[in-house]
Structure 1
Amino acid sequence: MESMVRAAGLRGLPGLVDSLGGDGVALLGRFGVTCAAVESEDAVIPAVAAGMLLEVAAAELACPDLGLRLAGLQNASVLGPLALAIENAATFGEALETTRRYLFVHSPAMTVAQILDPSGRPGVVGLLYRGTDAEPLPPQVVDVGLGLFHRIIVLLHGGPYGLRSVHLPHPALAPVEAYTRFFGAEVRFGRPDAVLRVPGGLATMPVPGGNQMLRDIAVEYLTSHFPAPGERVADRVRMLLTQGLGSSPAEVGATAKLLRTHPRTLQRRLAAEGTTFEAILDDVRRVAAHRLITQTDLPFTQVTAMVGMAEQSALSRAVRRWYGVTPRALRSTAAVPPR
């Protein structure tokens, strides 16, 4: 399947092209991209097309530092819903982990990670930016990607954050001074990976102005609306039912709405994975009921409500079907493990 990237990753490019004497709208159009898509929060385009567009623009406009210039015009907002989670992290380490986990929402073709310092200096770590495919990222994509990575850290920190040096996997595309001016640090070329070498203590530093409630909302939205590559639909349905059991409607229509799909489409996808919505709901209720019955002394009427059943008799029938005993007998023995 072709890797896609949010068109917002090109935000600022049409105006930049115009300022360099080109026609930004026409350039985007040659690659099937519109300005409306670039300004949209939802539009996606092929990652290959985005990379070619940047390379062609840099060549035709004789602007080898195009990627750096574009990064300088952007901020975390180009990452869409991921930006809210990053900007409201408690620490820079949490922001990095959130980016690592959810960068696929922006593009599954890219990844970031913290690594050991490639230069082996104590007290220094590397922040790695690379593609997920076997083919290396185009140089302009590396420049805009690592440049944006750096710029987001600067904006979160409120200024310089102690960047030691920068590693880039390609030769210098523009005069070295353009790179050192942008990053404010030494830049080394022809290295194995694109890396920001930063102080080891950066991860523990707080992000000024972070709001835990906003971050939790953002992370919950990312988790429920964007499946990680390779994640099964059944796993997402199970997660949503577990989170909402007893407080949200345990119905296929309500769950499908959270997943932004039609109920019949959801059922077809679950069937393709060898299960059904009803089977997943039954198992989620079974696990929750076993825990509430055997590990708490809550009244059975309350247990009934907490597993999303309307009547205690329905709980009794379900427990007998699951375990062959009544809820009272199950509690008295507290010895029947979940299957």
Structure 2
Amino acid sequence: MSSEAFAHNPRTLLHIAPYLRSRSVNPIEIFKRAGLAPSALLDANGWVPRNLCFRLGNELYAATGELFPGAAVGRRFRLADLGPWGEAVSGAATLRQACHAAINGIGLIHKGTEMRLVESNGVAKLSLAFAGRSSADPRQHIHGALAVLRSVALLAGVPEAIGVQFSEPYGRTVDRLEEAFGPSLQFGCDFDAIVIDRAIMDSSMAAPHATSNGADPMQTAANLCALVKEMLPYGGVTIERVAALLRMSTRTLQRRLRDWGFAFEEIVDDVRRVEAARRVVTGDGSSMEIAFMLGYSDQAHFIRAFRRWTGMAPRDYARRA
């Protein structure tokens, strides 16, 4: 993925697919509309251009009909899901130290995001803003980021001392926002921020929620996609074989996939799609050679799959690229 100035690490999008599944919406279709490859979202070391992230947030809104899907997704996160950034924040001794760790390490998960901690009049405000401009509406992503930052403040164990301020005038929908952010809300403010009573800033942090087995979910996902790609030329890419190579049971891998919101067959199909598009555009082999490299028994099956993915034959796709 792109390493441009304004981009987000795929970890920040980890819970979008399972959220969509919980709303009976196919995440694969939503990612396609936003211009994102599901397999790329499982790359812990990649970067997703910010404009695509914002576009995905807009698609969430359109697909679910919910006013604040970004906040619903953000509430699903555990610090352990966010890799080194989450480790640094959860390892802090006090809430003040956790806030500074979040600010200093923001570049690990966001490129081009500005965070500040301002203390005055008895409160501390942990603010977040996206630098630069985007053609897509950023509100859903802002809500998601605020929900994650609120979960950091909640580790102090005093929820009544934590509020949220929004730059948008959301007064008419306050009840829906209270479900995600609690009752202490302010609207039409100068910036978006978590508002914390200064009296708890030096409070000890509670232990954060860990992942179910202590493993990094994104690393497992990256290994899965890499194995699928390596196995394609040899055919017989099954969940049983991949699980064995990952040294886990088939049932465990199925559960992990369910947690990510994808089916195994969808991941295999998407890895094939991305690799096929790359090879066709770069001229890396004829259609027959690409078909065999992707595990198809013949050229006809590959061309049918390529038409399903792109709406055109490989030759036409290469000309337009």
The two structures have a TM-score, normalised by structure 1, of: 0.55
Residue in 1 aligned with 2:24? 21
What SS does the aligned partner of 1:30 have? helix
Which residue of 1 is the match for residue 213 of structure 2?
none
- Asked whether 1:149 is paired with 2:152, we answer no
Cα offsets for 1:154-176 (capped at 9, x unmatched):
2x23462611x321112329821
Name 2:244's counterpart in structure 1. none
| Amino acid corresponding to residue 193 of structure 1 in structure 2 | F
Equivalent position amino acid for 1:126 in 2 = K
Matched-pair contact (CA < 8 Å) for 2:98–2:152? no
Report the equivalent of 1:138.
Answer: 138
**C-alpha distance in structure 1 between counterparts of 2:35 and 2:71, whole Å:** 23
8 A contact 2:166–2:192 mirrored in 1: yes
How many angstroms apart in 2 are the aligned matches of 1:5 and 1:190? 26
Whole-angstrom distance in 2 between the partners of 1:150 and 1:18 = 25
User: Is 1:105 equivalent to 2:117 in the alignment?
Assistant: no
Native 8 Å contact 1:9 1:38 kept in 2: no
Distance in 2, Cα, partners of 1:67 & 1:173: 18
Q: 2:36 aligns with which of 25, 33, 50?
A: 33
Structure 1 residue 74: Cα displacement: 1.1
Match of 2:196 among 192, 195, 198: 198
1:246-284 CA distances to partner (integer Å, 9 max, x unpaired)? xxxxxxxxxxxxxxxxxxxxxxxxxxxxxxxxxxxxxxx
Rounded Cα–Cα distance in structure 2 between residues aligned with 1:198 and 1:113: 13
Residues 92 and 137 of structure 1, relative CA distance in 2, 3 Å threshold: farther
CA distance in 2, matches of 1:189, 1:114: 19
Distance between the aligned counterparts of 1:123 and 1:82, measured in 2? 28
* Separation in structure 2 between the aligned mates of residue 159 and residue 12 of structure 1, nearest angstrom: 26
Q: Could you tell me how far 1:196 is from its partner in structure 2?
A: 1.7
* d(CA) in 1 for partners of 2:56, 2:17: 11
Structure 1 segment 1-339 matched on structure 2, within 5 A: 1-117=4-120, 122-133=121-132, 138-154=138-154, 156-158=155-157, 160=159, 162-163=161-162, 165-172=163-170, 175-209=173-207
3-state SS of 1:96 partner = helix
For residues 173 and 68 of structure 1, what CA distance do their matches in structure 2 show?
Answer: 16
Q: Which runs of 5 or more residues in structure 1 are unaligned?
A: 211-339
Question: What is the RMSD computed on CA atoms of the aligned residues?
Answer: 2.4
| 1:109 positional shift | 2.3
Gaps of 5+ in 2: 209-321
3-state SS of 2:111 partner: coil
CA deviation after TM superposition for structure 1 residue 190, in Å = 2.1
Change (3 A) 1:161 1:186: closer
Contact 1:64 1:174 in 2 (8 A): no
- Once residues 26 and 141 of structure 1 are traced to their aligned partners in structure 2, the CA distance between those partners, rounded to angstroms, is 19
Cα distance change on mapping 1:174 and 1:19 into 2, 3 Å? farther
Distance 1:197 1:2, change over 3 A: closer
Structure label with greater radius of gyration: 1
In 2: Cα distance, 1:2 partner to 1:94 partner: 27
Where 1:35 maps in the other structure, the secondary structure is coil
Map of 2:278 onto structure 1: none
Equivalent residue letter for 1:105: L
Aligned residue identity for 1:168: F
Of structures 1 and 2, the one with the larger relative CO (CA 8 A, separation 6+) is 2
1:74-118, Cα deviation, whole Å (9 max, x unpaired): 12234321111111112111111111111011012223221145x
Residue equivalent to 1:304: none
In 2, the alpha carbon distance for the partners of 1:70 and 1:53 equals 12
1: CA distance between counterparts of 2:95 and 2:114?
A: 17
Tell me the percent identity.
16
